[in-house]
Amino acid sequence: MIQSLSIFISEMTINLSTISKYYSDKLKTYGDSPKGVDWKNKESQILRFRMFDSLFVNDKAFSIMDYGCGKGDYSVYLGKEFKTKKINYYGVDISESMIDFCKKKIGEDNGHHFYKSEQDFKIKIDYIIASGTFTVKHGFTQKEWYKYVIKEIDKLYKKSKKGIGFNVMTSYVDFKESHLFYMDPSEMLRFLIKKYRYVDIIHSYPLYEYTILIRKNGMD
């Protein structure tokens, strides 16, 4: 599948309004809680965030885009865990409800900025992470969603200065939910490492997913 899809990645017909409504409804139903952004609990959410730490752990100052920022929980995590670092945070989410929530709860000062699209600002960002952004494939097929994810990864890579990170559901599970996107980690790694070279995969944490880190210039 990887070989055939890598040859031709066409313009997508993914209806973004479907995705926006899905997460806006979650926020409306569950409010300011992990379930409000479709996470099971706070503990698993924090564990996912930690998988991105090695991207920027050696940087004293950096900018970062949270692609699919939801309620802005990642910005809260960064503020608590990396108090000594100067971080310029950009939260992006296609759900207007999420962006409005972030602006009211977190505000747009002290290095926080929120947008509905990464196209709303032209500057390049040091790092871009997408935590849970590609997990739910909604009503789209596996093939449609895979093509969409690969296209999004390439877009984020080109937008970043230093690197990107994202997570997807692993195919090594006992049971699969029809609305979730699962991907064999070895196939994903094989495709990405040919295209981007400096690729790490983290599969060694107790969740049914894995994290991919792609750097522009290898390890510092």
User: What tens digit of pLDDT does each residue of 99-126 get?
Assistant: 999 999 999 888 999 998 887 777 889 9
The model's confidence at residue 216, banded by pLDDT at 50, 70 and 90, is very high
User: What tens digit of pLDDT does each residue of 52-84 get?
Assistant: 999 999 999 999 999 999 999 999 999 999 999
Please name the fold of domain 2-215.
Answer: Rossmann fold (3.40.50)
- Tell whether the model's pLDDT for residue 181 goes beyond 90: yes
Largest CA distance in the chain: 46
Domain boundaries, the chain: 2-215
Amino acid symbol at 77? Y
